Amino acid sequence: PTMSETLETLLSKGDRALQADDTLVALLQFEMAHAMDPRPSVKAKLAYCLARERKEYQQAMTLCREALAAEPNNPDHYYQLSRVYLAAGHKNKAIKSLRKGLKFKRHQPIIDELNRLGYRRPPTFSSLPRDHVLNRAAGILLAKLGSR
C-alpha cells in the first residue's frame, strides 16, 4: 500500500472511532496520521483526543489554534476546539467557539452540541450579573410576553 492509502486508512479509522466516542483508538490513529501529514483537520481532531484521553489541554488548544490559523473558515475546527474547552471545563469558551464556527457555515455537529449544552440568551441588563433580581424578573417577563 502507498503512503497516501495508509494515511487515508488511518483517517477513516480515526473518524469512525470518534463517531463511536472511542477517543483512545482515535487518538492512536490521528497521532500516526499527524506524523505523516500534519494537516489542519488532523490537528483539530487529534487535539480533542489529547484533551479527552491525556488531559493535555494546553497542547490541544495549541493544535486547534494552529488548525484555525491555517483554515479560519472551517467550522469543524471550531467544533473540535469547543470540545477541548468542554473537556477542560470551560463551558462558556466552548459555547463562544461553537457560535463562532456557525458564522461560517451551517454545521450540524455544532448545532447538535449547542442544543445539548442549552442556549442561554444574554441577560437583559448586561451591566448587572445574570442572577441579579432585575435580570431575572425582566427575563421572565419578556419570555412571557414572547419578546425573548
- Give the single-character DSSP code of 132: S
Kindly give the residue spans of alpha helices, DSSP state H, lying in 20-131: 23-36, 40-54, 57-70, 75-87, 91-102, 108-117
Q: For residue range 7-63, list pLDDT tens digits in order.
A: 999 999 999 999 999 999 999 999 999 999 999 999 999 999 999 999 999 999 999
The interaxial angle of helices 23-36 and 40-54, nearest 10 deg, is 140
pLDDT higher than 70, residue 119:
no
Model pLDDT for residues 126-141, shown as the tens digit of each residue: 898 888 999 889 988 8
Hey, what's the cell of 143?
419570555
Cβ atoms of 82 and 102 closer than 8 Å: no
Predicted confidence (pLDDT) per residue in 105-114, tens digit = 889 999 999 9
What is each CA distance from 44 to 5, 73, 83, 100, 123, in whole angstroms?
21, 13, 10, 16, 32
Q: Which three cell numbers stand for residue 102?
A: 456557525
Mean pLDDT, range 54-81, rounded to an integer:
97
Check the CA dihedral 47-49-51-55 and report its sign: negative
pLDDT of residue 145: 86
